[in-house]
Amino acid sequence: MVAPLSGVHYPRSTAEFQAWFRTDADCLDYLEWLRWPEGFVCPECSHAGGCRLADGRFQCAGCGGRTSTTAGTIFDRTRTPLTVWFSACWLFATQKDGVSALSLQRALEIGSYQTAWAMLHRLRSVLVRPGRERLTGTVEVDETFIGGE
C-alpha cells in the first residue's frame, strides 16, 4: 500500500479512534505504517531495509544510521505518551469550535497548562507550509468561529 486512503485508513468516529489507538504501541505501529508504508527507508541515505533494535529504533542496513519512528515529527523527543498525543490530534481535528490549551489540558488530564499549550503549538506548526502562497480572489469558507464563549 503506497498511501493511506481517507475514510479507509483513518478512524471515522471517536469509538473507532479509541479502538484503534488503545496503547502507545498501537500509535507507534500506525505512525510507522504512515511513515514507511512499504517498510523502513533510511532518512539519511534512502536505503530500503534495516532492523529494529531492542530500544525500538531502526538501524539502516546501508549506512548504519539509527532513527526512531517519531524522529523529525511533532512527536520527536516528547515525554508525553503517544496515546495522549493522538487524542490531542483527534480533538484538534474534530472540534468544530477549535480547542484551547486549557480545554485540552482538562479533557486529556494533562499535568500542566504549559504542556497542553506546547502540544497545540506543535500541532498548529505542522499546518503551516513554508513558502506558501496567500489565497487570492474570492475565497469561500464553509463556517468560521472567531473568539468564542
Enter the C-alpha cell of residue 14.
Answer: 471517536
Cα separation, 119 vs 44, in Å, equals 27
Q: What is the distance between the alpha carbons of residues 44 and 67, in angstroms, rounded to a whole number?
A: 9
The pLDDT assigned to 1 comes to 41
Q: What is the CA radius of gyration of the chain?
A: 18
Across the 149 residues of the chain, what is the mean pLDDT of every consecutive 10-residue run?
A: 61 90 94 92 95 94 96 96 98 91 97 97 90 85 67
Confidence (pLDDT) at 7: 58
Write down the pLDDT at residue 131. 83
Ramachandran angles phi, psi of 135, nearest 5°: -70, 140
pTM to 2 decimal places: 0.82
- d(CA 101, CA 107) in angstroms, rounded, equals 10
- What is residue 149's predicted lDDT score, i.e. its pLDDT? 56
